[in-house]
Structure 1
């Protein structure tokens, strides 16, 4: 049987007055729905302005045939997908680089000495190299006169039109220009899905891994892409000492994101990509919370 939510509500306006509703019924897709989701839906659906508090009261989930499409499956609602690995104490992202040290600078126990009874805080302390977790490379990472994180514009990092290029590591580790031909690339974030992220935190992750070839990098530069990401340990072949992909892309201010995850959850097109690092001066790479927004 379909599920519906039955509830009362009270909405107050910041400029005075309010409205109430009793025995309101809405179709839902799952077994439950949060009060916040209901509040947000009411405000949006009724096109309310200057809304203050919204109270959801006497909420019940009932079995009743749907009248229309469930509100939590409404068309046009953006769906966010996290494409970042979790950074934790002792995580090894790249063999040979130290793992982060994550600890308390001020513990909750120690904070009891400073604040009123029942009030505690934690202040964390983090020591790590900037190449940790899912991270973004900008030109300064490769070139001394290149833009650092503080100089990269937000338009290069946020809501970029995205495309996923599938290059299964079972078939090849050398991802050449042929994988990108015949696709709409200009001005986009190009995310390479190899499936290698399944080995994250294992020894195999650091072994021979999927990577772009030099001719792929040259092709992407010629096509005017804005960003290139990959779900493996490095966008370059790390068996040698040269890094042609980094060199070519970063010279043209094409940003790089390495150690992505979850690209199998994305459609090939029809999404935007964001990867925002802190605004550090004199730093060329740093962890990001990478995400896709599927329209």
Structure 2
């Protein structure tokens, strides 16, 4: 029997919410079907942070891995979805402890929102830096969430991103976990091999075990 899939990627479109200053998604046609042309051909421009995406370490440090250079192992394998809906501006350790009675897998995604935002909301939930450290201490290699960033929109220090760098963790942002029950899954969310890029879009899915 086919295992159930949950598509946890938002639609990438011209009106997709983005950080102020990011390049929005835009599509143009460079060729259209006609008697003289056998195909439709499009070109796109966008920030690699539009939609579900994997930040590369290069996003928050110089001289480190780009999207093309990250190890793919973290983006594929057993994953736990933990609900912390309405937890406030930061995901605290106590918001996740209820789901850590059994050993955590190497990938943890946190659902913060009852419904993922479809317009830009600067007051989204992010990770407390000590929570990132706590997850790493439990063997977690990748963290994710259903908001635009692991740090608050107003942050200049990017303390949680710097924890990712220090602890060698990978991250997925802008997921859609609206329909995903708390529990264990297989995560599949591979970044594209984009040379020199600070992040990569992903088509993130969860598959039942």
1:189 aligns with 2:107: yes
The root-mean-square deviation of aligned C-alpha atoms, in Å, is 2.0
TM superposition shift of 1:218:
1.6
1:283 aligns with 2:168: no
TM superposition shift of 1:213:
0.8
Unaligned runs of 5+ in 1: 1-73, 115-119
> Match of 2:9, SS?
coil
Count of residues in correspondence between the two structures: 207
* Equivalence for 1:180: 96
TM superposition shift of 1:268:
2.4
Q: Among residues 227, 230, 254, which one is paired with 2:142 in the alignment? A: 227
TM superposition shift of 1:102:
0.6
Q: Is the 8 A contact 2:186 2:207 kept in 1?
A: yes
TM superposition shift of 1:274:
1.4
* Equivalence for 1:166: 83
1:88 aligns with 2:13: yes
Q: Is the 8 A contact 2:81 2:184 kept in 1?
A: no
TM superposition shift of 1:129:
1.5
Q: Which has the higher contact order (CA 8 A, sep 6+)?
A: 2
Using the alignment, how far apart are the partners of 2:132 and 2:149 within structure 1?
A: 13
Deviations 1:58-116 (A, max 9, x none): xxxxxxxxxxxxxxxx5xx411110001112353422221212211111224xx324xx
Using the alignment, how far apart are the partners of 1:207 and 1:147 within structure 2?
A: 28
Q: Identify, as 1 or 2, the structure richer in strand.
A: 1
TM superposition shift of 1:256:
0.9
> Match of 2:132, SS?
helix
Q: What are the equivalent positions in structure 2 for 1:1-295 lying under 5 Å apart?
A: 77-109=2-34, 112-114=35-37, 120-158=38-76, 160-169=77-86, 171-181=87-97, 183=100, 184=102, 186-195=104-113, 197-200=115-118, 202=119, 205-261=120-176, 263-295=177-209
Using the alignment, how far apart are the partners of 1:265 and 1:90 within structure 2?
A: 22
TM superposition shift of 1:187:
4.4
Using the alignment, how far apart are the partners of 1:123 and 1:108 within structure 2?
A: 9
| Structure with larger Rg | 1
* Equivalence for 1:34: none
> Match of 1:161, SS?
strand
TM superposition shift of 1:248:
0.5
Q: Is the 8 A contact 2:84 2:96 kept in 1?
A: no
Deviations 1:158-180 (A, max 9, x none): 2x2111121112x4222112223
> Match of 2:162, SS?
helix
Q: Aligned pair in 2 of structure 1 residues 196, 142: CA closer, same or farther (>3 Å)?
A: farther
Using the alignment, how far apart are the partners of 1:186 and 1:254 within structure 2?
A: 15
> Match of 1:251, SS?
helix
Using the alignment, how far apart are the partners of 1:281 and 1:138 within structure 2?
A: 11
Q: Is the 8 A contact 1:185 1:225 kept in 2?
A: no
TM superposition shift of 1:241:
1.2
